[in-house]
Copies of this chain bind each other. A is one copy, B any other.
Amino acid sequence: MNIGEASSATGVSAKMIRYYESIGLIRAPLRTGSNYRVYGEDEVHVLRFVRRARTLGFSVEETATLLGLWQDKSRASAEVKDVATSHITALETKIAELQGMVKTLRHLAHCCTGDNRPDCPILDDLAGEHPVSKGH
């Protein structure tokens, strides 16, 4: 399997496969005589693992940790759970942050007539003028 086939078999772009190799996330595969990378089932399996971890929002670094744990037959599941739970916490922090933004913006947008007149509570808020009251 060359890199293009491995890419479509895993959903990881060829660019990213080379990148992951360059940063040491995945091992360098064998090459053909003409210097083409050759991938087998094992490599594809690893790439799918990486893709799934990235889809779940793990950073490349966290993914490397998880890959290491995956390949360590004697790991304790507690270690994996720790990585996962602290990632959950980070995600929830981010979600709360975004929700705070949405809440404020929804309120401002609600107060904005959205017509042809120039008066705009959204801009007033950004400018720090006439602070918009929370109740309405």
Contact = CB atoms under 8 A, between A and B. Distances in A.
How many monomers of this chain does the complex have?
A: 2
A5 interface: no
Contact of A52 (B81, B98, B126): B126
Contact of A78 (B81, B85, B116): B116
Q: Main secondary structure on chain A at its contact with chain B?
A: helix
Contacts of A102: 88, 91-92, 95
Interface residues of A, number: 52
Given A77-B113, A88-B106, A91-B101, 11 more contacts: A52-B128, A56-B126, A57-B98, A69-B123, A76-B116, A77-B114, A77-B120, A78-B116, A81-B122, A84-B108, A95-B98
Interface of A: 45, 48-49, 52-53, 55-57, 66, 69-70, 73-78, 80-82, 84-85, 87-88, 91-92, 94-95, 98-99, 101-102, 104-106, 108-109, 112-120, 122-123, 125-128
